[in-house]
């Protein structure tokens, strides 16, 4: 019996060395929002739900939820060094929380469309690999940001 226990111990040790480490996968935005909304309905009164604002919602998020909402809304891969430009609607009252936090810098440039909607341009350089962008925000602003990508 002792030999069998020693065998199991050695097998477990070798498995830990050989097998790749497990990494927790970041939840999708849908999974995250479903969990957050369910938690809000379970813990807040109707009055508290109607009085929610950006700051209150952000204070309720776990670090994992915040990470998901900051990185899983728009994702793509680039195979060369690029500059990613995020055009953010100037009239949106609250800037997406992840935009400055993830290293994007506001430029002096703006973009306007034929409906006279003006967008500020935020930029960040990326090396080859994943580009992960977050949600537009928690408010009901309908003009979503849009993205352009160009080589460095």
Could you read off the pLDDT of 53-87 as tens digits, one per residue?
A: 888 999 999 999 999 999 999 999 999 999 999 99
Higher-confidence residue of 23 and 55: namely: 55
> What's the pTM?
0.78
What residue spans of 73-152 are helical by DSSP H?
98-101
- Average pLDDT in the chain: 86
| pLDDT confidence of residue 13 | 38
Residue 107 has pLDDT above 90, yes or no: yes
| pLDDT confidence of residue 141 | 74
Could you give the percent of the chain with pLDDT greater than 70? 84
| pLDDT confidence of residue 140 | 76
The strands making up 118-126's β-sheet, listed across from edge to edge, are: 105-112, 118-126, 82-89, 146-151
Residues 135-150, mean pLDDT to the nearest whole number:
90
What residue spans of 72-120 are helical by DSSP H?
98-101
Higher-confidence residue of 32 and 3: namely: 32
| pLDDT confidence of residue 4 | 39
Sign of the CA dihedral running 27, 29, 35, 39: positive
| pLDDT confidence of residue 142 | 78
| pLDDT confidence of residue 9 | 38
Question: Which residue has tokens 């506001």?
Answer: 106
């Amino acid at each position: 019996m002792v030999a069998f226990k020693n065998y199991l111990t050695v097998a477990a040790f070798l498995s830990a060395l050989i097998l790749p480490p497990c990494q927790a996968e970041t939840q999708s935005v849908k999974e995250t929002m479903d969990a957050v909304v369910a938690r809000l309905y379970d813990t807040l009164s109707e009055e508290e739900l109607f009085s929610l604002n950006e700051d209150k919602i952000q204070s309720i998020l776990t670090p994992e939820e915040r990470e998901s909402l900051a990185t899983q809304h728009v994702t793509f891969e680039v195979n060369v060094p690029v500059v990613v430009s995020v055009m953010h609607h100037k009239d949106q009252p609250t800037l997406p929380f992840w935009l400055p936090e993830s290293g994007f810098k506001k430029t002096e440039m703006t973009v306007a469309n034929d409906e006279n909607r003006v967008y500020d341009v935020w930029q960040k350089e990326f090396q080859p690999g994943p580009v992960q962008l977050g949600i537009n925000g928690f408010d009901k602003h309908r003009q979503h940001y849009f993205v352009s990508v160009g080589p460095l």
